[in-house]
């Protein structure tokens, strides 16, 4: 069924080159990369039919078609530009079931369709073309798809002349998340149609962003969600891009970057360096038939990465045995995820499990995760074999029926964060046993001691986002708080990257700063400093009131400030947030503010 708020617009870029931009002001799914809830765009590019420099008639070429979410408006727009009898060529940037659904509809409407895909993508297309998502027992089977169109397989970089003088270079860019990745570079205009690279989920009709800083937070969020777990492979791709004569980068989602694309490449390098610096690593092995298990893997990776622990993501369907073995032997923890297909785990997962059982270190924790439709035999197999093999479970197996919702995604993130913290704690204890001097030297440093004399108000920062079943909430103790501006009234607060509530505190989000009263802070501090299980309600058992914008107020606090976050700055292991106050009140006019006194700046 069509979604009225989704539409597709045509933006002419050059003679014979049109951007077809799908617009959705709301998030499409509950996958972690949509968590900022700023909508999205799906950017496709049509190189129209015509003659090339040699006078030869060239067919139209569609680069990076969207997924099925935009099917109806996209097909309507494309039909106005490409006749049904045209020999349309479609460059498939990456393959997943959602994309295959749209490709089937293209094949039905354009019978002479030809697909252009990398070698790995061609394999995926052949596997997925006739597959259907599991249906309920009482539902009938869906109609048969049209025959799989012929595939022009791009095994290595290739350049193709097109109409209007355009020259299209096709570059395979395989990664664990998108093994069939293929980007397109139009050599005459310098337009890099980069697919998932440099993407951001936000809805904007403009083709290009106004300035480099306007969408940096969105692009960093997308990177952290999907690129960080495969930073080494991403860096290799970025190195190849730096060799191209780029003028504009046009990703598959979000506005293009035309003015300062070089700084974006530098950002990707810098973000990748921070994610690979850790001496600790978690190996994340998975296969995903319909994208649901991959969504769980993304959330786990995001949670682990928040703690600074490196994630090595491996798609078992396309990984080399040597890479798999190296990751299993070198990791500090191992997570393995699988869908259940026909009551079984996919063959690559069964093979990976055998390698884990043969080569894995029993002293390192393991975790099991995955999605299922009407049964979960694959997850039971993984858990049983690992437990019987003498492995200790890092957490109870994560079993999700079909697609994870927002609350489940957040619980999975927190599970990953808990694992990362556990590994860091074990490392610190080991380092103290081996050489206790490092921390002592830090704490005795006069500058660090002086830093500890910088005091801050003791507060509880609360946040609520969304409504009903999709609503999320969180809270944390904050002591690095300071007023930052008079006009508009605003404050700053520093939040550790591994805090569960951090995902609710991005630009545009609202929160409430509950300032604690001296002499009455203990009970609230105890409530929010206790260890919480992943996904647990931080407000259980507490009396709450709502601010005008629906943010949680703690009535036992001294005062409260509702605010909107307008800026974020990365500061080492913390994010510094600037928030503008929109409402507030003093709950106890006779009370005084609780202040956190420290003797060292090396810890809280």
Residue with tokens 């049964």: 375
Residue 602 lies in a domain: no
Residue 158 lies in a domain: yes
- For 470-480, write each residue's pLDDT tens digit: 789 999 999 99
Measured between its terminal Cα atoms, the distance across the chain in Å is: 52
Query: What pLDDT does 439 receive?
Result: 46
Whether residue 76 is found in the same domain as residue 216: yes
- Cis peptide leading into 357, omega within 30 of 0? no
Whether residue 329 is found in the same domain as residue 370: yes
Whether residue 13 is found in the same domain as residue 151: yes
383 with 413: CB under 8 angstroms?
no
CATH number of the domain where residue 282 is located: 3.40.50.360
Domain count, the chain: 3
CATH number of the domain where residue 521 is located: 2.30.110.10
Whether residue 321 is found in the same domain as residue 356: yes
Burial of 508 (0-12, 13-18, 19+ CB in 10 A): exposed
**256 has which bridge partners?**
208
Query: What pLDDT does 270 receive?
Result: 92
CATH number of the domain where residue 65 is located: 3.60.15.10
Picking from 422, 443, 467, the residue at the C-terminal end of a domain is 422
d(CA 110, CA 99): 16
Picking from 274, 304, 333, the residue at the C-terminal end of a domain is 274
Picking from 227, 258, 274, the residue at the C-terminal end of a domain is 274
- For 511-563, write each residue's pLDDT tens digit: 999 999 999 999 999 999 999 999 999 999 999 999 999 999 999 999 999 99
Whether residue 571 is found in the same domain as residue 501: yes
Residue 64 lies in a domain: yes
d(CA 18, CA 44): 8
Whether residue 246 is found in the same domain as residue 358: no
Query: What pLDDT does 435 receive?
Result: 57
Whether residue 230 is found in the same domain as residue 290: no
Residue 432 lies in a domain: no
Residue 437 lies in a domain: no
Residue 140 lies in a domain: no
424 with 418: CB under 8 angstroms?
no
Whether residue 292 is found in the same domain as residue 329: yes
Q: In 3D, which of 250, 261, 260 has the Cα closest to residue 20?
A: 250
d(CA 230, CA 152): 28
CA–CA distance from 288 to each of 298, 315, 344, 577, 579 (Å)? 12, 8, 13, 36, 40
SS3 554: coil
CA–CA distance from 247 to each of 62, 68, 591 (Å)? 20, 30, 60
With a CB cutoff of 8 Å and minimum separation 6, the contacts of 521 are 458, 594
Whether residue 296 is found in the same domain as residue 342: yes
Residue 362 lies in a domain: yes
Residue 434 lies in a domain: no
Q: In 3D, which of 567, 576, 402 has the Cα closest to residue 481?
A: 576
Q: Where are the beta strands (DSSP E) in 490-573?
A: 490-496, 510-515, 545-546, 552-553, 559-571
Query: What pLDDT does 211 receive?
Result: 84
Q: In 3D, which of 73, 81, 124 has the Cα closest to residue 102?
A: 73
Residue with tokens 């989602």: 253
Query: What pLDDT does 438 receive?
Result: 47
Query: What pLDDT does 314 receive?
Result: 93
Whether residue 286 is found in the same domain as residue 211: no
Residue with tokens 């969408």: 215
**195 has which bridge partners?**
251
Query: What pLDDT does 442 receive?
Result: 65
Q: List, for the chain, all residue ranges whose pLDDT scores fall below the cut of 50.
A: 1-2, 136-137, 139-140, 437-440
Whether residue 358 is found in the same domain as residue 403: yes
- Written as six digits, the tokens of 48 are 């129209």
**Could you list the residue range(s) of the whole structural domain that residue 546 is in?**
451-596
Which residue intervals of 402-557 are DSSP H helices?
A: 406-434, 437-444, 446-451, 522-529
Q: Where are the beta strands (DSSP E) in 252-327?
A: 281-286, 310-315
Whether residue 546 is found in the same domain as residue 464: yes
């Amino acid at each position: 069924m069509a979604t009225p708020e989704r539409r597709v617009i045509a933006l002419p870029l050059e003679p014979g080159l049109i951007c077809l931009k799908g617009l959705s002001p709301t998030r499409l799914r509950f996958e972690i990369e949509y968590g900022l809830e700023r909508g999205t765009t799906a950017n496709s590019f049509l190189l129209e039919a015509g003659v090339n420099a040699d006078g030869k008639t060239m067919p139209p070429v569609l680069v990076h078609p969207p997924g099925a979410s935009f099917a109806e408006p996209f097909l309507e727009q494309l039909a106005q530009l490409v006749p049904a009898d045209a020999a349309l060529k479609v460059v498939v940037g990456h393959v997943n079931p959602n994309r295959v659904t749209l490709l089937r509809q293209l094949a039905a409407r354009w019978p002479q369709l030809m697909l252009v895909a990398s070698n790995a993508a061609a394999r995926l297309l052949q596997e997925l073309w006739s597959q259907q998502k599991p249906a309920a027992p009482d539902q009938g089977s869906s109609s048969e798809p049209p025959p799989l169109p012929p595939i022009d397989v791009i095994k290595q970089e290739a350049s193709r002349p097109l109409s209007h003088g355009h020259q299209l270079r096709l570059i395979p860019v395989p990664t664990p998340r998108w093994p069939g990745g293929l980007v397109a570079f139009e050599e005459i205009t310098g337009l890099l149609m980069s697919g998932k690279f440099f993407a951001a989920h936000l809805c904007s009709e403009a083709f290009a962003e106004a300035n480099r800083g306007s969408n940096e937070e969105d692009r960093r969020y997308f990177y952290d969600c999907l690129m960080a777990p495969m930073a080494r492979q991403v860096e290799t791709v970025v190195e190849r891009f730096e060799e191209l004569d780029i003028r504009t980068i046009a990703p598959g989602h979000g506005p293009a970057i035309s003015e300062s694309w070089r700084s974006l490449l530098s950002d990707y390098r810098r973000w990748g360096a921070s994610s690979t610096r850790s001496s600790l690593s978690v190996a994340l092995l998975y296969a995903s038939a319909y994208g649901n298990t991959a969504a769980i893997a993304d959330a786990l990776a995001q949670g682990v990465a928040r703690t600074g622990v490196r994630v090595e993501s491996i798609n078992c369907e396309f990984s080399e045995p040597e890479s798999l073995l190296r990751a299993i032997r070198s990791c500090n923890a191992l997570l393995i995820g699988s869908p259940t297909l026909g009551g079984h785990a996919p063959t690559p997962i069964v093979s990976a499990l055998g390698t884990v059982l043969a080569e894995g270190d029993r002293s390192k924790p393991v975790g099991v995760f995955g999605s299922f439709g009407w049964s979960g035999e694959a997850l039971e197999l993984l858990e049983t074999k690992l437990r019987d093999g003498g492995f200790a479970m890092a957490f109870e197996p994560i079993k999700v029926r079909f697609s994870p919702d927002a609350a489940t995604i957040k619980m999975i993130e927190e599970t990953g964060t808990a694992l990362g913290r556990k590994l860091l704690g074990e490392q610190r204890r080991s380092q103290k046993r081996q050489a206790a001097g490092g921390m002592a030297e830090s704490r005795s440093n006069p500058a660090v001691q002086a830093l500890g004399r910088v005091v801050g108000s003791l507060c509880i920062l609360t946040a609520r986002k969304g409504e009903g079943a999709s609503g999320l909430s969180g809270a944390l103790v904050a002591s690095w708080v300071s007023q930052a501006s008079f006009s508009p009234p605003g404050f700053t607060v520093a939040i550790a990257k591994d805090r569960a509530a951090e995902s609710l505190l991005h630009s545009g989000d609202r929160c409430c700063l509950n300032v604690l009263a001296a002499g009455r802070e203990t009970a609230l501090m105890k409530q929010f400093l206790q260890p919480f299980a992943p996904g647990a309600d931080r407000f259980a058992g507490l009396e709450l009131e709502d601010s005008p914008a629906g943010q949680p107020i703690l009535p036992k606090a001294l005062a409260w400030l509702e605010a909107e976050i307008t800026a974020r700055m990365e500061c080492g292991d913390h994010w510094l947030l600037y928030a503008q106050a929109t409402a507030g009140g003093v709950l106890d006019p006779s009370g005084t503010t609780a202040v956190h006194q420290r003797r060292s700046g090396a810890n809280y």
